[in-house]
Amino acid sequence: MDVILFLIFAAISLVCAVNVVIQPHPISSAISLIGVMGSLAVLYLLLGAEFIAAAQVIVYAGAVMVLFLFVIMLLNAGRETAQSKSETAHLLGVPALLVFALLLAYFLRQRPEEGVHFGGFTGGSAEAVGRALFTAYLLPFEVVSVLILIAIVGAIVLARKEI
Amino acid sequence: MQQVPQSWFLVLSALLFALGVAGFLFRRNIVTVFMSIELMLNAVNLSFITFAYQHKDVGGQLSAFFVMVVAAAEAAVGLAIILTVFKNRETLNIDDISSMKN
Amino acid sequence: MDASTAFYVISLIKILVVFAVLMTTLAYLQWIERKVIAHIQVRPGPYFVGPHGLLQPLADVVKLITKEDLLPPYVNKPIYLAAPFIAVSMALLSISVIPFGPKIDVFGYQTYMQLTDLNIGVLFILAVSSVGVYGVALAGWSSNNKYALLGALRSSAQMISYELPLSLAIAAPLLISNTLSLRQLVVTQGGAPGHPGTFWNWNLFHGWQWISFIIFLIAAFAETNRVPFDLAEAENELVAGFHTEYSSMKFASFFMAEYANMITVSCMAVLLFLGGWVAPWPAKYGSGLVPVAVFALSGLIALYHGLHPARRMDRFSLPVVGVVFLIVAAVFLAPFTQSWLLPLFWFCAKVGLILFAFIWVRGTLPRFRYDQLMVFTWKFLFPIAVMNLLVTGLVVALV
């Protein structure tokens, strides 16, 4: 049952990721990216990260991607026109990436492992995450809040109309 | 087989990361390039959470959480930059935006 | 039947029951809304289709189904077809975690009156409503229409701006109840099995969450695109906003999604602030007689007006209504319904109260202009929500 769930959502995420890279129109890429994020959220649930899965959907798929969608709609970004691309890049690049991915996968397989199943890791609840966030990881938490403040100020400064 | 081997998650993460790199290198539209960066960040998040499961440590999930927050901040600023670039150059094609020689 | 097949069968039955009740409620919520707004405006409302307009929702459904289902040639087909589907499925998905009552016994199997109890239930509802924004945004984009696009952008910007005070207003009672699971929220507000609480246990009173409640309601009005925040879809503004190019069933889907969202946020308000299915005072001190009194009184009033009818058809319809209400009052007196019907009644009564507030506000207030709306959330509601969370956190930490 867990295997079937993993296979379905991994397939969805791979198809949507390929779609992100291949689609000519940015809106289709954006919607496919939302699909990737949604299926990754389900995979996080399988790995026992329930709070992070919810945060992924609320923050990433629900806010960041809406921002992307707004920008694409506002700029009226049209379809990307086909350009003269370097044939060498395509000939070498795609197989190279495939080899890279498979090598990475091979090296990562060397560890002995137990299987992943629902309930294998119960330390990902909101309470556990909150406890760790406010004790062991307090400094990164505060630094990240300052980072968001900087990002807000920067975005407003960049996007306002110059009078 | 009731359990999913952990390496499958890592393989998926590697594939997603490779696809993100491919999109980043080969696409000409600046917004699509940005979305490929987000795809790479998501792939890395999946790795973090898989390793959190492996070591039974919630710190991996927190690292993924911080990556998510940084990605959100970066998306906000990056999209503001894209809007400004579009206002000045009237195009979203990264070849045409570049004003460097050759 | 062993335990696991029993679980699947019971879950299937629960899904069917909740779905049927929800669809009927959606249809009749529209009837109630039209009637209430009509009476606020001193006119009768839908009256001719069936007694007192009760078959009006049926007529509307038939009309919408038989209307021509246009697929304009200039729209982006996949996204155009997907957008109402996303809106409706997200709206209905959030009902799946709402608890309607305590544990009940069904033919010997114990089950909760809830489709599923997630231990991140509140986050699930927030996540699902965040994804529901896409239904609106993509509908406007795919319609290839200036008005639709503007309406969609405004509406989705409004929805994501008001998600912030909504989340902060939700966080405050969560600090007090100390749980994210919706069932546990009610248990901490006096719903523990065997230890019924009173209205004083509710988060609104004992937790002093008045400000959070008001912020939650205002943000909920904005999230569901209801008056006074319905600029994006009002008929006399932007043509019809983001659903300009939609007809027949797809248009009906957007309306269903809006009403389902309304029901979801009302249920959330009841679960977070008003104690879920906990009666104002425990049943053993007589709160079980309140529904009996309410229904018996309405039945008697209906019967009385049936004897002196104001209109010709009331001679038949009002006594029938009166008798039905008296039968319902008798059902509430029966002992076998005390454990499950009473909590369900209190839950539905509270949700009904908040839905009535939604409809009441629609009939009373004018709508905000878009810039007023945005200034209201970013400069007023959000700082107040943050201060409220801060004060609640301080009190919880120090007390």
ipTM: 0.91
Is there a contact between A43 and B9 if contact means CB atoms under 8 Å apart? yes
Cα C309 from Cα C305, distance rounded (Å)? 6
H-type helices in C45-194, by residue range?
56-66, 77-93, 121-142, 146-177, 182-186
Is there a contact between B2 and A132 if contact means CB atoms under 8 Å apart? no
Does residue C355 surpass a pLDDT of 90? Answer: yes
pLDDT of res. C347: 92
Between C139 and A80, whose confidence is greater? Answer: C139
A142 close to B (CB below 8 A): no
- Could you give the number of structural domains in chain B? 1
Conformational region of residue C241, where left means phi above 0, alpha means psi within -120 to 50, and beta covers everything else:
left
Q: Which residues on A lie below 8 Å from C123 (Cβ)?
A: 51, 54-55, 58, 126
Using CB atoms, which residue from B50, B64, B80 is nearest to A155? Answer: B80
pTM given for the model: 0.90
* Placement of tokens 């309607």 in the chain: C100
Cα A116 from Cα B49, distance rounded (Å)? 12
Residue C105, SS3 per DSSP = strand
- In CATH, the number for domain A1-78 is 1.20.120.1200
CA distance A94 to chain C (A): 29
Q: Which positions 111-130 of A are in contact with C (Cβ < 8 Å)?
A: 125-126
Is there a contact between A58 and C180 if contact means CB atoms under 8 Å apart? no
* Any domain includes B49: yes
Mean of the pLDDT values across residues A85-114?
70
Is there a contact between C123 and A54 if contact means CB atoms under 8 Å apart? yes
pLDDT of res. B64: 95
Does residue C287 surpass a pLDDT of 70? Answer: yes
Between A87 and C59, whose confidence is greater? Answer: C59
State the average pLDDT for chain C: 86
Chains C and B in direct contact, meaning 3 or more beta-carbon pairs closer than 8 angstroms = no
**What is the domain range of residue B76?**
29-91
Structure tokens at B69: 């927050």
pLDDT of res. C4: 80
Instruction: State the CATH number of the domain containing residue B68.
Output: 1.10.287.3510
| C-alpha separations of A110 from A104, A106, A113 in Å | 11, 7, 9
Does residue C300 surpass a pLDDT of 70? Answer: yes
Cα C356 from Cα C362, distance rounded (Å)? 10
* Any domain includes B79: yes
Does residue C196 surpass a pLDDT of 90? Answer: no
Mean of the pLDDT values across residues C239-250?
72
- Residues A43, A54, B53, A33: what is their CA dihedral angle, to the nearest 10 degrees? 40
B36-88 confidence digits (pLDDT tens): 999 999 999 999 999 999 889 999 999 999 999 999 999 999 999 988 888 88
Q: Which residues on A lie below 8 Å from C156 (Cβ)?
A: 66, 70
Q: Closest Cα partner for C242 from C157, C368, C369, C364?
A: C157
The CA angle A133-A138-A139, to the nearest 5 degrees, is: 140
State the average pLDDT for chain B: 88
Domain boundaries, chain A: 1-78, 122-163
A140 close to B (CB below 8 A): yes
Mean pLDDT is highest, among A99-108, C145-154, C328-337, C340-349, for C340-349
Residue C112, SS3 per DSSP = strand
| C-alpha separations of A122 from A22, A46, C122, C376 in Å | 38, 11, 19, 41
Q: How confident is the model at residue A68 (pLDDT cuts 50, 70, 90)?
A: very high
Is there a contact between B62 and A51 if contact means CB atoms under 8 Å apart? no
Does residue C189 surpass a pLDDT of 90? Answer: no
Is there a contact between B31 and A77 if contact means CB atoms under 8 Å apart? yes
Between C206 and A15, whose confidence is greater? Answer: A15
C88-143 confidence digits (pLDDT tens): 999 999 999 999 888 887 777 788 888 888 889 999 999 999 999 998 899 888 88
Do A41 and A61 meet the contact criterion of CB atoms below 8 Å apart? yes
Does residue C246 surpass a pLDDT of 80? Answer: no
